[in-house]
């Protein structure tokens, strides 16, 4: 892996928030290299800095100090419009709350990110249908979120994250609103994306059990990585 260049490189990143007269140091010199094709978990309890770390990995925020490179580009040097375009092409987001639009069908929800990238309607429909079928939802394409189970909604959210064929999937507590059986199924889909589609998966979670699904885990405390572990049983 080390002969490859990191797809995400976070170097000595600090994030300091002003709270009146005081400062909150959410990240304290974070260093993290994520390589193409890895399945990485970023773990830590509430207040450890993992949500801020997620924002940095997802290029949703810029650091107070330090640098973040996404696919070789320093994001702090980009205008927001350019950063949004880069993010839209390179990173797919999966959220705990699903964030689906209830007035749209599953197919239309998955088509939406492609609209922002200027993809033709016929191509959007074909690709969205293919992704939903890959995730076992070929018979649910015309259902709205309220007509789907929690697990099906999360799979639609995964399909939406894949719409622009991003290199990186960033999953924020992806099983947080699911029962344990459905949660395990969602994790198996993420592993499938990693193994069969060679997607780089970055999962942020407080759940140690979820971290065991990943190839590599980084543990945060007080805004810095305190340890890392490698899952020797993770088979490609």
What is the domain partition of the chain in residue ranges? 38-59+79-230
Q: By the 8 A CB rule, do 200 and 193 touch?
A: no
- Pairing of the two strands 91-94 and 168-172: parallel
Contact predicate 51/61, CB 8 Å: no
CATH number of the domain located at residue range(s) 38-59+79-230 in this protein: 3.40.50.300
Average pLDDT, integer, range 44-65: 92
145: left (phi over 0), alpha (psi -120 to 50) or beta: alpha
**70-96 confidence digits (pLDDT tens):** 989 998 888 888 888 888 889 999 988
- Asked if 37 and 191 count as a contact pair (C-beta separation under 8 A), the reply is no
Residue among 90, 104, 101, 97 at smallest CA distance from 57: 90
- Cα separation, 223 vs 72, whole angstroms: 24
In degrees and rounded to multiples of 5, residue 216 shows phi and psi of -145, 140
**pLDDT tens digits, one per residue of 113-161:** 999 888 999 999 999 999 999 889 999 999 999 999 999 999 999 999 9
């Amino acid at each position: 892996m080390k002969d490859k260049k990191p797809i995400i490189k976070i170097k000595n990143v600090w994030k300091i928030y002003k709270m009146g007269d005081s400062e909150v140091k959410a990240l304290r010199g974070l260093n993290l290299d994520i390589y193409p094709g890895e399945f990485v978990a970023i773990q830590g309890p509430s207040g450890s800095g993992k949500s801020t770390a997620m924002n940095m990995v997802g290029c949703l925020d810029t650091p107070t100090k330090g640098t973040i490179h996404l696919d070789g580009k320093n994001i702090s040097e980009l205008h927001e419009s350019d950063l949004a375009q880069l993010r839209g092409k390179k990173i797919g987001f999966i959220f705990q709350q699903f964030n689906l639009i209830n007035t749209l069908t599953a197919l239309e929800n998955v088509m939406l990110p492609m609209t922002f990238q200027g993809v033709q309607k016929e191509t959007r429909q074909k690709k969205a249908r293919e992704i939903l079928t890959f995730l076992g939802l070929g018979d649910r394409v015309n259902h709205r979120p309220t007509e789907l189970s929690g697990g099906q909604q999360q799979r639609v959210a995964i399909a939406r994250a894949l719409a622009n064929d991003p290199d990186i999937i960033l999953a924020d507590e992806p099983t947080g609103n699911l029962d344990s059986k459905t949660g395990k199924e969602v994790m198996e889909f993420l592993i499938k994306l990693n193994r069969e589609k060679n997607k780089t998966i970055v999962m942020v979670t407080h759940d140690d059990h979820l971290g065991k699904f990943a190839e590599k885990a980084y543990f945060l405390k007080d805004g810095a990585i305190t340890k890392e572990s490698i899952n020797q049983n993770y088979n490609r």
